Amino acid sequence: MTKKINLSEEDKLIFGDAAAFLSRKIDEGIVNLEKEDVIEFIDMINEMYKVDLKEEIKTNENISYLLNELFKLGNEEAIVQIDELLYEETDKKKKEEKSEVVAFAGDSICTVSIDQIPGVGEKTAEKLRDAGYHDLMALATAPVSFLVDECGLGEATARKIIQEARGKLNMGFGTAMDLLKKREAVGYITTCSKALDDLLGGKGVETQSITEAAASFGSGKTQLGLQLAVNVTMPKERGGLDGIAVYIDNENTFRPERIVQIAKALKIDAKSALENIKVARAYSSDHQMLLVEKIPDLIEKEKLNVKLIIIDSLTGLFRAEYMGRGHLADRQQKLNKHLHDLQRMADRYNLAIFVTNQVMSRPDVFFGNPEAAIGGNIVAHASTFRMIFRKSRGDKRVAKLIDSPNLPDGEAVFRVCEEGIRD
């Protein structure tokens, strides 16, 4: 007489259909299962664990033995043993298939995955990844309302997931010396203008920061973005980061022909430069935000070495969709979230963010610059380095640094010519 399997409610939640299948087979008195029955059971395990064990069944004596013991005896301990063995045998494969990223938390650097959080099942993990939460740091720093709105989770569940993520990371204080050591990982992208590089600290646009260039049309904002997109592909000894640029074009100003011109001037293979720039055209503010949220997939799923994100322009679509003071609060809140998403991405993946910004005229200003950057204090506070460009004579442009956490205000003159940005 065969023993009936007596699963707890927790076991049923863990094994689901596979447990029901096993119980049915044992209740039917089947002791010697056919290979097809074993394969069917393994298929159910595969669906839950996203692993393929059919080949291991044929060759691994331990798995075959435990499966037979499980079916013959209905032994609950054997279920746990198989669960542990399946994880042990396929741990390496799962690590290769599932995205894991390096998360900086205080003074700790951890390689983590959201699957390690208790209570996060396969479906919940899929929802979190679809919403852009690929690691513990992303969850630990996310507001509860974001998980509720973007992932369809209950507030209590979202709060528990965030607390678990924070518990697995060192989210406490570190010393200024620890932060200084972390800053050693910051990379720089040259602008090809020594004067402009010096204005930004001597080496150019830095990673882990948002650099903003605001100006009226024809002042060189887009040209600097195109130059940086090419420069980031260069090796470090030439002022690049051996990386890939992501270019989000909101104003239909990206021209591959211009990329070819800039690349040839730098003695870079034009085809290679074009292939190392990922371009997308955004048609609405929601589309723009969605494109940014998809960038982690390029880094983690496609394994691309993205080192620069360019948005040209940051506020153009928001400005077109949210008109009048009645919609100002909604626009600013949405823009604030967008900028914080960009900054978190810059920190997490050690990449640079370069955004262009439009300006508006202030007719009440009679002295000084009558133009002001769009976005108000939200954009002003979010940008790490903020520059205002203006036209000068001929191909010359003047860049004025008006905000930086560690650099004095200053000006630099650069040229926009056929070769790109130059002194």
Residue 353: half-sphere exposure toward Cβ, Cα within 13 Å: 29
Q: Which of 133, 167, 201 is the last residue of a domain?
A: 167
In a domain? residue 205: yes
293 lies in some domain = yes
| Pair of tokens at residue 395 | 């191909």
294 and 151 within one domain: no
Give CA–CA dist 196/228, Å, rounded: 12
Interval 291-320: pLDDT, tens: 998 998 899 889 999 999 999 989 999 988
In a domain, 109, yes or no: yes
What is the Cα–Cα distance from 399 to 214, expressed in whole angstroms? 10
Claim to verify: residue 306 and residue 342 sit in the same structural domain: yes
The answer to whether residue 14 scores a pLDDT higher than 90 is no
- Residue 231's alpha-carbon distances to 6, 207, 389, in angstroms, are 64, 14, 20
Is 90 in the same domain as 116? no
Residues 50 and 126 in one domain: no
Q: List b or e across 368-397, with b for residues whose CB sees 16 or more CB atoms inside 10 angstroms.
A: eeebebbbeebbbebbbbbbbbbbeeeeeb
Is 65 within a domain?
yes
- The SS3 of residue 1 is coil
Please give the Cα distance from 142 to 166 (Å, whole number): 10
* Domains: count for the chain: 3
- Residues of the chain with pLDDT > 70, as a percent, come to 72
pLDDT band at 134 (very low <50, low <70, confident <90, very high): confident
Predicted pLDDT at 70: 52
The per-residue pLDDT for range 224-277, each reduced to its tens digit, is 999 999 999 999 999 999 999 999 999 999 999 999 999 999 999 999 999 999
pTM of the predicted structure, to 2 decimals: 0.69
Q: Looking at the structure, do residues 379 and 233 belong to the same domain, yes or no?
A: yes
Q: What are residue 420's DSSP bridge partners?
A: 417
Q: Which of 97, 119, 149 is the last residue in one of the domains? A: 97
C-beta of residue 247 within 8 angstroms of C-beta of residue 275: no
Who wins on pLDDT, 12 or 27? Answer: 27
Residues 364 and 408 in one domain: yes
pLDDT of residue 42: 57
Q: Is residue 179 part of a domain?
A: no
Asked whether residue 96 carries a pLDDT value surpassing 50, the answer given is: no
* Same-domain check for residues 249 and 355: yes
> Quick check: is 412 in a domain?
yes
Evaluate whether residue 268 is within a structural domain.
Answer: yes
Using one digit for the tens of pLDDT, what is the confidence trace for 267-289?
A: 999 999 999 999 999 999 999 99
Say yes or no: 113 and 88 in one domain: no
For the stretch 366-382, pLDDT in tens is 676 777 888 888 899 99
**Contact assessment for residue 412 and residue 196, using Cβ atoms and an 8 Å cutoff:** yes
Residues 333 and 379 grouped into a single domain: yes
Alpha-carbon distance 388 to 402, whole Å?
Answer: 7
Is 274 found in the same domain as 394? Answer: yes
What pLDDT band is residue 387 in, cutting at 50, 70 and 90? Answer: very high
- What pLDDT shows up at residue 392? 92
Q: What is the CATH number of the domain that holds 200?
A: 3.40.50.300
What CATH number did the domain enclosing 138 receive? 1.10.150.20
Q: What is the per-residue pLDDT for 25?
A: 53
Look at residue 384 and tell me if it is in a domain: yes
The pLDDT value recorded for residue 140 is 83
DSSP letters, 127-171, are: HHHHTT--SHHHHHTS-HHHHHHHH---HHHHHHHHHHHHHTS--
Pick the closest to residue 123 from 190, 178, 50 (CA basis): 50
Tokens of 111: 């390689």
Burial class (CB in 10 A: 0-12, 13-18, 19+), 60: middle
Range of the domain at 110: 101-167
pLDDT of 101 > 50? The answer is: no
Q: Which of 150-154, 214-218, 400-404 has the lowest mean pLDDT?
A: 150-154
- Sign (positive/negative) of CA torsion 95, 160, 140, 142? positive
Q: What is the pLDDT of residue 167?
A: 81
In this structure, what DSSP letter does residue 116 have? G
Which strand (E) or helix (H) includes residue 321? helix 316-321
Same domain, yes or no: 55 and 156:
no
**Domain-terminating residue out of 140, 167, 194:** 167
217 and 324 share one domain: yes
